[in-house]
C-alpha cells in the first residue's frame, strides 16, 4: 500500500479536498446565483443543501475510498461488487470530460493574469478576440495543464498536498485582501445589499433546484474525486469532521467571493448596479474595466491579484480532476505515476481542443448541437459541460448513495465512519447520515437528475 502514497496529515487532506471544491464554480457562478436567487435567502438554502444533502454524499465517498484504498473502479470491486465497476468508470469519464473544458477556462484565467501584469485592461472589451486567438489561448491551456500534471506527477504528499498547503492559504489571504479593499471603495454598501438583501419572492422552485446542483458541483461530488482522495487518508482520521471542514471552507470562500465582487460592480456602476454583464462575462468582460478605473499601478496590483486568485482556485481543482484517472491507471494497470500522468494529461488536453475552438473560432464546434425544442445551438464546450457535470454528476451521486445504503449496506458504511471517530456511535449525526444516505439523497438527487436531463436536452420545463 505504501507505494501508492498517502496524505501526511488530516490537515493536508482537508486542504487538498477543499482545494478540489473551491474552484471556478465558487468565484464566478456562486455570487450570481445568489444575486439572482434572492440574496441572503439563497445563501441559506445553499447552506442547507450543502449540509443536509451533499455532506452525507461526501462522507460516503470518503468512506468508500478509505475502506478500499482504491480508485473509484477498483473500490467497488474491492468491496466485492464487480458489477458496480461501471459506476467508477462513469465517474472517471465525467472527470475527464469536466477537466477537458475546465482547463480551457483555467487557461483564460491564467492568460488574464499575465495581461493584468502587463497593464492591458482593454482585454475585457476584447474578450471574444482573446478566446478566438486559439494559438495564444491554446498555449495558456497547455501551460496550465502542464503545471497541473507536474504537481500530480509528484504524488500525493510530495505533490498534491504540498501544493495545497501553499495554494489554499495564499488563496484565502488574496480573497480577504481583495474583499477588504473592495469594501473600502465608494458605493460598496450598495453592492453588498444588492448581493445579500433577502428577496423571498425570487425564491422559485427553479432557484431551489439550481442551488442543489450548484452545491453538488461545487463540493466536487458524484464522480469519485473524494473516493480517490479518501483512498489516501489514514484510518485514524475522523471522516465526519474532515467533511465538515471541507464543506465549510467551500461555502465560506464562495460567500466571500460575492462580498468581493459586488462592491467592485457597485463602484463601476456608481451604485446603480445596472448595465454590467453577469455570470462568466462579469469576470472576463466587466472586471478589467473596474481595475482600469483604479489607476494604472493600483489597477495592475488588484487585477493581477484577482486573476492569480482565480488561477489558484482553478489549479487545486484541475489537480483533483486529473488525480482521478491517474489513480485508476496506476492502481489497475500497475503503471508508473509519472508516465500515467503525462499520458493522461496529454490526452485530456487534446480532448479539450474542440472546446477551445468552440467560442467562435470553429463554426462546427461553436454551433455544435441543437437540443430538442431549443432555439439556438449549444457550443461543444457547453455540451460537454451539460453531459459531464450537469448530467453525470447527479446521476453518479444517486447511484453512489444507493450503492452504499443497499448494496454495500449502510451498517458497513457506518462502521467505517466510526473508525477514527469512536464517539460517533449513537449520535444524531450518525442517525442523520444513515437516514440521508438511505432515503433523502437518493430521492432528491434522482429528481435533480431527471429535471436537469429532460430540461437540458429536451426542453421540458418543469417550473
Q: Where does this chain bind ligand TRP (CB under 6 A)?
A: 20-21, 23-26, 98, 217-218, 220, 223, 225, 317, 320-321, 393
Taking the least distance from each CB to ligand TRP, the nearer of 41 and 97 is 97
Cell of 33: 446565483
Q: Which residue is nearest to ligand TRP (CB)?
A: 23
Q: Which residues contact 11 (CB under 8 A, 6 or more apart)?
A: none
Report the residue number, 105 or 240, with the smaller CB distance to ligand TRP. Answer: 105
465608494: which residue's cell?
186
Rank residues 233 and 319 by Cβ distance to ligand TRP and give the closer one. Answer: 319
Q: How far is the CB of 98 from ligand TRP (least distance, A)?
A: 6
Pairwise CA distance, residues 23 & 417, whole Å: 27
Partner residues linked to 378 by β-bridges = 369
Shortest separation between residue 50's beta carbon and ligand TRP, angstroms: 12
Shortest CB 142 distance to ligand TRP, Å: 20
Nearer to ligand TRP, 113 or 267 (CB): 113
Cβ–Cβ under 8 Å, residues 284 and 116: no
As measured in angstroms, the least distance from the Cβ of 270 to ligand TRP is 32
CA-wise closest residue to 179 among 45, 18, 27? 27
In whole angstroms, the minimum distance from the beta carbon of 152 to ligand TRP comes to: 13
Nearer to ligand TRP, 20 or 247 (CB): 20
* CA separation for the pair 388, 383 (Å, rounded): 8
Do the Cβ atoms of 266 and 188 come closer than 8 Å? yes
Closest approach of Cβ 215 to ligand TRP, in Å? 10
Q: Which is nearer to ligand TRP, 225 or 357 (CB)?
A: 225
- Judged by beta carbon, residue 98 or residue 109, the one nearer ligand TRP is 98
CA 404, 407, 409, 415 torsion-angle sign: negative
| Residue 298 CA from chain centroid, whole number | 30
* Closest distance of CB 461 from ligand TRP, Å: 26
Which residues are CB-neighbours of 461 under 8 A, at least 6 positions away? 455
Helix axes 10-21, 296-333, angle to 10 degrees: 110
Q: In Å, how far are 103, 105, 146, 354 from 138, measured between CA atoms?
A: 10, 11, 12, 11
Residues contacting 20, CB < 8 A, separation 6+: 220, 225, 226, 229, 316, 317, 319, 320, 321
Q: How far is the CB of 332 from ligand TRP (least distance, A)?
A: 20
In angstroms, the CA 182 to CA 177 distance is: 9
In the complex, minimum distance from the CB of residue 275 to ligand TRP, in angstroms, rounded to a whole number: 28
- Judged by CB, which is closer to ligand TRP: 311, or 366? 311
**Pick from 46, 57, 98: which is nearest to 209 by CA?**
46
Backbone angles phi, psi at 285, to 5 degrees: -100, -50
Q: Indicate the DSSP class of residue 389.
A: I
Alpha-carbon distance of 84 to 399, in angstroms, equals 10
Q: How far is the CB of 190 from ligand TRP (least distance, A)?
A: 28
Amino acid at each position: 500500500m505504501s507505494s501508492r502514497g498517502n496524505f501526511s496529515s488530516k490537515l493536508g487532506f482537508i486542504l487538498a479536498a477543499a482545494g478540489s471544491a473551491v474552484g471556478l464554480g465558487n468565484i464566478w457562478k456562486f455570487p450570481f446565483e445568489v444575486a439572482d436567487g434572492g440574496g441572503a435567502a439563497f445563501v441559506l438554502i445553499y447552506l442547507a443543501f450543502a449540509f443536509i444533502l451533499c455532506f452525507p454524499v461526501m462522507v460516503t465517498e470518503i468512506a468508500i475510498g478509505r475502506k478500499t484504498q482504491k480508485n473509484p473502479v477498483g473500490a467497488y470491486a474491492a468491496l466485492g461488487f464487480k458489477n458496480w465497476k461501471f459506476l467508477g468508470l462513469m465517474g472517471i469519464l465525467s472527470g475527464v470530460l469536466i477537466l477537458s473544458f475546465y482547463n480551457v477556462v483555467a487557461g483564460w484565467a491564467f492568460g488574464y493574469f499575465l495581461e493584468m501584469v502587463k497593464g492591458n485592461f482593454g482585454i475585457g472589451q476584447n474578450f471574444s478576440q482573446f478566446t478566438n486567438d486559439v494559438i495564444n489561448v491554446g498555449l495558456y491551456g497547455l501551460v496550465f495543464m502542464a503545471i497541473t500534471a507536474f504537481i500530480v506527477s509528484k504524488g500525493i504528499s510530495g505533490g498534491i498536498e504540498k501544493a495545497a498547503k501553499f495554494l489554499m492559504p495564499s488563496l484565502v489571504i488574496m480573497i480577504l485582501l481583495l474583499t477588504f479593499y473592495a469594501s473600502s471603495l465608494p458605493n460598496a454598501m450598495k453592492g453588498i445589499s444588492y448581493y445579500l438583501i433577502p428577496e423571498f419572492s425570487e425564491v422559485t422552485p427553479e432557484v431551489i433546484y439550481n442551488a442543489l446542483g450548484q452545491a453538488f458541483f461545487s463540493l466536487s461530488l458524484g464522480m469519485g474525486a473524494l473516493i480517490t482522495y479518501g483512498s489516501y487518508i489514514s484510518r485514524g482520521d475522523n471522516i465526519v469532521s474532515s467533511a465538515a471542514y471541507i464543506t465549510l471552507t467551500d461555502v465560506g470562500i464562495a460567500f466571500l467571493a460575492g462580498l468581493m465582487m459586488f462592491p467592485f460592480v457597485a463602484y463601476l456602476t456608481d451604485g446603480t448596479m445596472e448595465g454590467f454583464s453577469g455570470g462568466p462575462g462579469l469576470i472576463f468582460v466587466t472586471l478589467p474595466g473596474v481595475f482600469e478605473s483604479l489607476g494604472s499601478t493600483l489597477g495592475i496590483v488588484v487585477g493581477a491579484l484577482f486573476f492569480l486568485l482565480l488561477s489558484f482556485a482553478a489549479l487545486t481543482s484541475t489537480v483533483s480532476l486529473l488525480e482521478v484517472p491517474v489513480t485508476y491507471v496506476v492502481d489497475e494497470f500497475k503503471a508508473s505515476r509519472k508516465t500515467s500522468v503525462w499520458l493522461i494529461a496529454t490526452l485530456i488536453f487534446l480532448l479539450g481542443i474542440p472546446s477551445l475552438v468552440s467560442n467562435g473560432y470553429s463554426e462546427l464546434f461553436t454551433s455544435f448541437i441543437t437540443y430538442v425544442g431549443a432555439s439556438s445551438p449549444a457550443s461543444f464546450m457547453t455540451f460537454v459541460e451539460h453531459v459531464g457535470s450537469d448530467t453525470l454528476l447527479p446521476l453518479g451521486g444517486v447511484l453512489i448513495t444507493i450503492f452504499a445504503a443497499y448494496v454495500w449496506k449502510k451498517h458497513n458504511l457506518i462502521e467505517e465512519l466510526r473508525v477514527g471517530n469512536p464517539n460517533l456511535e449513537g449520535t444524531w449525526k450518525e442517525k442523520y447520515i444513515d437516514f440521508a444516505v438511505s432515503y433523502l439523497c437518493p430521492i432528491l438527487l434522482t429528481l435533480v437528475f431527471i429535471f436537469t436531463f429532460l430540461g437540458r436536452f429536451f426542453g421540458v420545463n418543469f417550473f
